Structure 1
Amino acid sequence: MAKQVPLTCSGHTRPVVDLAFSQKATDGYFMISACKDGKPMLRQGDTGDWVGTFLGHKGAVWAATLNTDATKAATGAADFSANLWDAVNGEVKASFQHKHIVKAVSFSPDCTRLLTGGQEKLVRSFLIEKPNADPDILGNHDSAIKKAIWSNDGKVALTASEDKTIRKWDCGSKQEVQRITLDSAVCDVELSLDGKILLVTHNKDISIYDASTFEKMREFSIPTQVYSASLHPEKKFIVAGGEDFKLYKFDFETLEELDSCKGHFGPVHIVRFSPDGELYASGSEDGTVRLWQTNLGTNYGLWKCINPGDDDSNSTT
């Protein structure tokens, strides 16, 4: 196999700690990145071309996500707020105040609610159309919350914490209904596109759980502390990255290591597959986002990346 050279998306000035893709829409799909420089960026997902920078947070941005069609964005930051953005014009539509750092944000499938978590240890669900209303409190962890995601039907929420647990919350009763307890703090969780599999990274391990029963199906290790992993939308591969700067690719069925690539100059904090599965993105301590082709093709050399210039405009049009 040819050695892969990733497409590098520059522009951030500090570590990139989170990123997310939208689903495919009329204009393709998009990618948002969260960075400790406090300036999350929106890019065209398949090329990395810069679209705009969201300006408004007054501290490091720890989490970022897009709704299905990339018309809305949400971010969580060290300024104790979770912001809702119009992803078309870059304007802040609402700011949901917290009492500590927000490290996890997630849109409900119908984009009516925003799930948040962070240093406060509380799991909150805000009604997007009524930003001044008190949020639903679904429960709390014993330590900081690192990730928060919705089930595909929007009836339950899942949160992962430094307290070594992943918890499932019923949004109707506002009660914890299931729990996974690990032997080390959770670094990352991801729900498969069909909502059936939960991918969990912790220590040097990647664990595969049944998302409905929370039963562990399989588990394997990589040679380094793993910070993030992502499952191909058609369940063909798992990609992962961590402390040793490398990206690893595994066959989902056999868990055989298929490839490992080094392109970053710092630990890899986050990795996610695009919605079509043709590429995956990684964010690193080195301040860059890099795009990797899932399968090297003849058009790889045609990729280009337009990076943000000196324009301070927050318009994404």
Structure 2
Amino acid sequence: MGSACGAGSQSGAVHDPSKVKTPGAAGDQALRVLRMETPISSLHWDETGSRVGFTDGHKEAKVWLTDEGDTRGAVDHFKVGGHSAPVTVLVFSPNGKFLLSAGRDGMIIIWLLDTGEKGGEMDVPKLSLSATEGTREIRALAFAGEGKLLLSSSWDSFIRLWDPSKSLLLKEVQKDLPQVVSMQIDLKGRSLLVCNTKGDIQVWDVKSFDTLLEVQHGAPSSPEASEGEPDGSSCSPAIFSPTGASIISGGGPEAQTAVRVWEAANAQLRFSIQVNSAPRSLGVSPQGRFVAAGLENGEVAVCDLESKSVLKTLKGHTGPVLSVGFRTDGRILATGGADGTVQLWQTGGKL
């Protein structure tokens, strides 16, 4: 583990207007499309709603500037490197000042968004001299403690707690469970929602990492996915509602093509909404009424949790939709697919 505060810039601006298109009417077609060459495995909005960060299987994290006024000038997207292996996950800090990228090399790199420079590094320890690079691969990141602490999960089944301001490892616990591939902390900062490669969904205590309750899915949401795939595709997606009162999940052994809503307090199923294909990713609108489900067949189902129905189906991807996320004001939905595109959809502020 090391620190490199104030290191030279590792970013490179990229401007290619041919990669961004405005296909047609807002809502019916994607408002803008950014075309890459490889699948978009994860994406994340910053707090200002002006940037979407995403990973596409390369050694750099990429950030798409969705409005004007960035200090680096008129660029469509830029990238930050520093990793020796593909980047698997990224997250923006709650204060909007930093981007954290993590990868198969076991490194977490902190980037200063105003300059694109590296602000620090955190290195997952090697458990032994024979440890392979793959066991250090980081699969999920989540901020805790109002952004002062960071949680990570890696392929060695360890959950680690970091102090990003000091690039310091504070605590690590090895869980006797399948590898965790996604994590989210609730609004109160007390509960951690985790999904593993077996398809299980659990809620843990943030401080002790003890299991508080479990939603038994038991099988991948995608019938084609096999347990333990390195891209985490066998994980049944799950997220907290904005208030933390509900858990929203996709798929499962008894509902492969459904979005389901559970009580967060006791993991009791409230209702299900049928969609056209197996959910591969989920995102909830800021007000908590609408859920976007990225599907195996390339569609995005926008579900209304009040009417318990599919409000709209968005068709723009030509392969599974692996990541979705609403902008912080709810007016734009970003989707990333196996077809190598990041697409922005205008919601009209209704979501």
Question: TM-score w.r.t. structure 2 length?
Answer: 0.75
Deviation, structure 1 residue 88 = 2.1
- Indicate which of 172, 175, 192 corresponds to 2:207: 172
Deviation, structure 1 residue 258 = 2.2
Deviation, structure 1 residue 33 = 1.0
Decide whether aligned partners of structure 1 residues 53 and 142 sit closer, same or farther in structure 2, where only a CA change above 3 A counts. same
1:270 pairs with 2:323: yes
Decide whether aligned partners of structure 1 residues 100 and 225 sit closer, same or farther in structure 2, where only a CA change above 3 A counts. same
Q: Contact (CA 8 Å) 2:238, 2:250: kept in 1 or not?
A: yes
Q: Contact (CA 8 Å) 1:76, 1:83: kept in 2 or not?
A: yes
Q: SS state of the match for residue 187, structure 1?
A: coil
Q: Contact (CA 8 Å) 1:149, 1:157: kept in 2 or not?
A: yes
**Residue pairs, 1:40-189, within 5 angstroms:** 40-45=61-66, 50-98=76-124, 99-137=135-173, 139-140=174-175, 142-185=177-220, 186-189=235-238
What is the CA deviation profile of residues 236-280 of structure 1, one whole-angstrom value per residue up to 9, with x for unaligned ones?
Answer: 322111221111122221222222122112211011111111111
Q: Contact (CA 8 Å) 2:27, 2:346: kept in 1 or not?
A: no
What is the CA–CA distance in structure 2 between the aligned matches of 1:58 and 1:289, rounded to whole Å?
A: 24
Deviation, structure 1 residue 134 = 4.3
Q: SS state of the match for residue 13, structure 1?
A: coil
Decide whether aligned partners of structure 1 residues 216 and 95 sit closer, same or farther in structure 2, where only a CA change above 3 A counts. farther
Deviation, structure 1 residue 191 = 2.1
What is the CA–CA distance in structure 2 between the aligned matches of 1:229 and 1:217, rounded to whole Å?
A: 18
Q: Contact (CA 8 Å) 2:160, 2:170: kept in 1 or not?
A: no
Q: Contact (CA 8 Å) 2:330, 2:349: kept in 1 or not?
A: no
Q: Which residue of 2 aligns with 1:260?
A: 313
1:15 pairs with 2:39: yes
- Indicate which of 325, 332, 346 corresponds to 1:279: 332
- Indicate which of 201, 204, 218 corresponds to 2:250: 201
- Indicate which of 217, 236, 247 corresponds to 2:300: 247
Amino acid across the alignment from 1:118: S
Higher relative contact order structure (alpha carbons within 8 Å, sequence separation ≥ 6): 1
Deviation, structure 1 residue 167 = 2.2
- Indicate which of 50, 58, 73 corresponds to 1:37: 58
Deviation, structure 1 residue 213 = 3.3
Bigger mean CA deviation after superposition, 205-214 or 257-266: 205-214
What is the CA–CA distance in structure 2 between the aligned matches of 1:11 and 1:131, rounded to whole Å?
A: 34
Higher strand share: 1
Q: Which residue of 2 aligns with 1:294?
A: 347
Q: Contact (CA 8 Å) 2:238, 2:249: kept in 1 or not?
A: yes
Decide whether aligned partners of structure 1 residues 43 and 3 sit closer, same or farther in structure 2, where only a CA change above 3 A counts. closer
Deviation, structure 1 residue 13 = 2.8
Q: Which residue of 2 aligns with 1:315?
A: none
Deviation, structure 1 residue 9 = 3.9
Deviation, structure 1 residue 32 = 1.1
Larger Rg: 2
Deviation, structure 1 residue 216 = 2.4
**Residue pairs, 1:205-220, within 5 angstroms:** 205-220=258-273
Question: TM-score w.r.t. structure 1 length?
Answer: 0.83
Q: Which runs of 5+ in 2 are unaligned?
A: 1-24, 125-134, 221-234
What is the CA–CA distance in structure 2 between the aligned matches of 1:117 and 1:35, rounded to whole Å?
A: 19
What is the CA–CA distance in structure 1 between the aligned matches of 2:262 and 2:312, rounded to whole Å?
A: 24
Q: Contact (CA 8 Å) 2:158, 2:175: kept in 1 or not?
A: yes
Count of residues in Structure 1 that have an aligned counterpart in Structure 2: 293
What is the CA–CA distance in structure 2 between the aligned matches of 1:274 and 1:17, rounded to whole Å?
A: 18
Q: Contact (CA 8 Å) 1:190, 1:198: kept in 2 or not?
A: yes
Q: Contact (CA 8 Å) 1:146, 1:188: kept in 2 or not?
A: no
Q: SS state of the match for residue 121, structure 2?
A: strand
Amino acid across the alignment from 1:183: G
